[in-house]
């Protein structure tokens, strides 16, 4: 967690303090998304988790490095009213959508799709939630609710209009009844003025094993590549759309730049802060040379990422050796 509050010593912190960030984490079962950790000191994190067990766990162990946190036992959906939450053996796969007729590798994943129980929950749209939250919409949204992401986005236009960044889980096969595909979400967000920055956490499923490439397994099929089934899209608001839609957009652009740096997109941030109005506002807030600060922290951030990558490679080497040895003596 070396990135937590990384930018606090920087004069960029003056901008973040004057214009703090807010983010919604919809599907926060595993804890808040770490995307804004580097600016946690100036970020309010609001999590939504309708499962009572998961909610109690989150509420009982708050993350204290954020400026402010709030966990709400609310199911976010595309409408206000009662919906059925489908709970399989693996609670992380809980969904407002029921299972579809499964094919391919999904048909062997009962722990994700075989429903053990259902729970009636009250759902609210993001726009409706904001009516009871002083009308403060988020700048960043992370949404992972197993298939209902697009209905949430489509039915909260005011929230989406304010967003500067979105991380959304997408699927490449029809696991659940009526589930939109990645292309549907891509089309919606691009039409709303966002640009795709990354595809992260790709998950590849094999039919006869849960082991993934390049590992081999003791299953009858020693090795196979898996089918790409899901992952996360990361979108940023296009700066030119901000300028076109919001005449006084300097503050919003500064926030967009902060989010971009938090995720490591320093060239994107440098382009945003190259705007004359943004530079003028940054200087007014005590950040005299934002371009210099961006260059300095690009180097710091890069060193952290290089170290993480190196350690990750070392940790990942062990399983390869163990599996190879086991298969040699099969």
Report the share of the chain in percent with pLDDT over 90.
58
Counting residues of the chain whose pLDDT is more than 70, the rounded percentage is: 94
Comparing 75 with 189, the larger pLDDT belongs to 189
**Residue 98: is its pLDDT beyond 90?**
no
How far apart are alpha carbons 135 and 158 in whole angstroms? 10
Mean pLDDT of 135-144: 92
Check pLDDT > 70 for residue 329.
Answer: no
Contact 241, 234 (CB under 8 A): no
Cβ neighbors of 138 (< 8 A, separation 6 or more) are 22, 23, 24, 46, 159, 162, 163
Cβ neighbours of residue 21 under 8 Å, at least 6 residues apart? 36, 39, 42, 43, 44, 139, 140, 255, 258, 259
Q: Give CA–CA dist 262/66, Å, rounded.
A: 14
In tens, the pLDDT along 109-129 reads: 888 888 889 989 889 999 999
Indicate the pTM of the whole model.
0.91
Per-chain mean pLDDT for the chain? 89
Mean pLDDT within 130-152? 88
pLDDT in the model for residue 62: 77
Contacting residues for 103 by C-beta, under 8 A, at least 6 apart = 173
What are 209-246's pLDDT values in tens digits? 777 777 777 777 888 898 999 999 999 999 999 988 88
Write out pLDDT tens, residues 295-327. Answer: 999 999 999 998 888 887 777 666 656 655 565
Q: Which residues, at least 6 apart from 20, have a Cβ–Cβ distance to it below 8 Å?
A: 42, 43, 44, 67
Contact 152, 121 (CB under 8 A): no
Interatomic CA distance for residues 134 and 137, integer angstroms: 9
pLDDT at 290: 95
Count of Cβ atoms closer than 10 Å to residue 101 Cβ? 8
**What residues does each domain of the chain span?**
12-301
pLDDT of residue 134: 60
Query: pLDDT value at position 326?
Result: 60
């Amino acid at each position: 967690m070396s990135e937590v509050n990384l930018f606090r010593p920087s004069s960029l912190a003056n901008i973040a303090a004057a214009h703090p960030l807010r983010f919604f984490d919809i599907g926060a079962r595993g804890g808040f998304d770490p995307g804004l950790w580097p600016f946690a000191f100036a970020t309010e994190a609001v999590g939504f988790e309708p499962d009572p067990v998961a909610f109690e766990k989150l509420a009982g162990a708050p993350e204290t490095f954020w400026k402010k946190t709030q966990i709400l036992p609310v199911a976010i959906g595309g409408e206000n009213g009662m919906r059925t939450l489908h709970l399989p053996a693996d609670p992380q796969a809980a969904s407002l959508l029921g299972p579809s007729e499964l094919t391919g590798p999904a048909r062997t994943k009962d722990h994700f799709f075989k429903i053990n129980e259902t729970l009636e929950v009250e759902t609210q749209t993001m726009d409706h939630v904001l009516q009871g939250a002083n009308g403060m919409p988020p700048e960043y949204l992370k949404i992972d609710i197993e298939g209902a992401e697009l209905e949430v986005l489509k039915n909260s236009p005011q929230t989406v209009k304010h967003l500067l960044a979105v991380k959304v889980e997408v699927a490449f096969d029809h696991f659940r009844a009526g589930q939109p595909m990645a292309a549907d979400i891509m089309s919606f967000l691009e039409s709303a003025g966002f640009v795709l920055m990354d595809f992260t956490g790709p998950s590849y499923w094999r039919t006869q094993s849960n082991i993934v490439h390049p590992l081999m397994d003791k299953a009858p099929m020693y090795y196979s590549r898996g089918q790409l089934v899901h992952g996360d899209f990361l979108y940023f608001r296009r700066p030119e759309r901000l300028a076109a839609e919001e005449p006084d957009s300097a503050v919003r652009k500064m926030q967009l730049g902060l989010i971009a740096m938090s995720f490591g997109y320093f060239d994107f941030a440098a382009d945003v802060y190259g705007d004359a109005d943004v530079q003028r506002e940054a200087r007014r807030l005590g950040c005299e040379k934002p371009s210099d600060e961006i260059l300095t922290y690009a180097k710091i951030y890069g060193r952290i990422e290089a170290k993480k990558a190196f350690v990750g490679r070392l940790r990942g080497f062990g399983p390869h050796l163990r599996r190879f040895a086991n298969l040699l003596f099969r």
